[in-house]
Every structure is written in C-alpha cells, then in structure tokens.
Structure 1
Amino acid sequence: MKSRKLINILSMACRAGKILSGEFVIEKALAGRHNIKLILLAEDTAQATQAKYEKLAEKHKILLRKTPLTKEELANSIGKTDRAAAAVCDDGFGKAVLKILDN
C-alpha cells in the first residue's frame, strides 16, 4: 500500500517536472544549488552508492530517505530505467513523500 502511494506521488511529481534522477544529474544539481528538497534511495541500492548519497545529503543539508521501492520500481515510477536515486525538487511533493514514508 505504502509503495503504491509512493509510486503515484513520484509519477505526479515527475509529470510536473519536479524529479531529477541519475547520479550525475543529482550531483550537478547539488553543485549548482538546484532546489533539491529530498533525495530518495531505492531499497536495493549498493552500500557504496548509498554512502555516497549520504555524504552528499549531509554536505548540502538535504533530507535523504530510503524507500521500500527497488531500483526498478523507483525508475519505473519516474519513467526511467534502473535508478538507485531520485531527487524531489518541490516542497509540496517532498512533504507528501515524507508523509508516506514516515507513517
């Protein structure tokens, strides 16, 4: 149930142009002071990749949450293939995602 709600909100955010994905894109956006509110990680993200995103999130003071979605589910929800992480660039969508994940 939680996964379905999360997939739905991520799909809406993506259609609204408020999702970034892919390691290079997220890193570049963070370096350029893009408006990233939340970084989401797939549950099956490799430990090294997870550690890298944790450092980035800490450095830029951005929330990071691990999701119950696999890389494939995360990628499919935003119309991509094989994504370990996605960044939410909107306060409203970020709060909606956190509400789902934290309940």
Structure 2
Amino acid sequence: MNKGLSLLGLAFRSGNLVSGEFAAREAVRKKTAALIIVANDASDNTKKMFENQCKHYQVPFYCWGLKEELGHAIGKEFRASIAVTDQGFAEALLKQLDK
C-alpha cells in the first residue's frame, strides 16, 4: 500500500489530484476524473453515492485505505474521497490497487 500512497502524494503535488467530496464529485461530473478512491472507513452513503456516480459516468472506482492514510499521503488531515485527474497516475495506481 505504501507505493500507492506515494503515488497519491506525487499526483497531488503535480496538480493531478483533487480531494474532498465536492471536488471529487465535480471531477466525475465534468469528466476530468480518471479514477476515484474512497476510504474504506468513509460512510456507506458516501461510498454508495460515488459508486453510483462512477458507474453512470464510467469512471473506475475503488474503496481503499483509511481516511487518515489518504489524507496523510497528500499532506492533509483526513480525506474520504480523492479523484485522480491524470490518466497516467490513474493507471499506475490501478496496478497498485489490484495487487
């Protein structure tokens, strides 16, 4: 999981990631999201909402990590939802998530 968290940090620092529920939902709606990651300890409503929206807009969706881990990876406190907006970072993360 550490390599995946490092990739999230790189994506954030390069401006290829947005975090937070509103920003992630907007990225999906505007079709700029290449991957959505929601923390395993996020609420069931949040998970279901992102799962439905990602299915509708055909964006890969994963539940992975904890809010604290996701936030720490990008230099923030807690983050329940993250949208990766770069296809290259999304593909690299998908390889890590599928391990």
TM-score when normalising by structure 1: 0.89
2:21 and 2:97 map into 1 onto residues whose CA distance is 22
Per-residue CA deviation, residues 22-67 of structure 1 (Å, 9 max, x unaligned), is 1111222333x24210000111111111001111101211010111
Shift of 1:94: 0.3
Aligned to 2:18: 20
Structure 1 alignment gaps of length 5 or more: none
- The runs of at least 4 aligned residues of structure 1 exceeding 3 Å deviation read none
Match of 2:74 in 1: 78
CA distance in 2, matches of 1:13, 1:25: 15
- From 44, 63, 68, the counterpart of 2:60: 63
Question: Which consecutive unaligned segments of at least 5 residues does structure 2 have?
Answer: none
Identity %: 35
Letter in 1 for 2:56: K
> Secondary structure at the residue paired with 1:40?
strand
Indicate the RMSD between aligned Cα atoms, in angstroms: 1.1
Q: Secondary structure at the match of 1:53?
A: helix
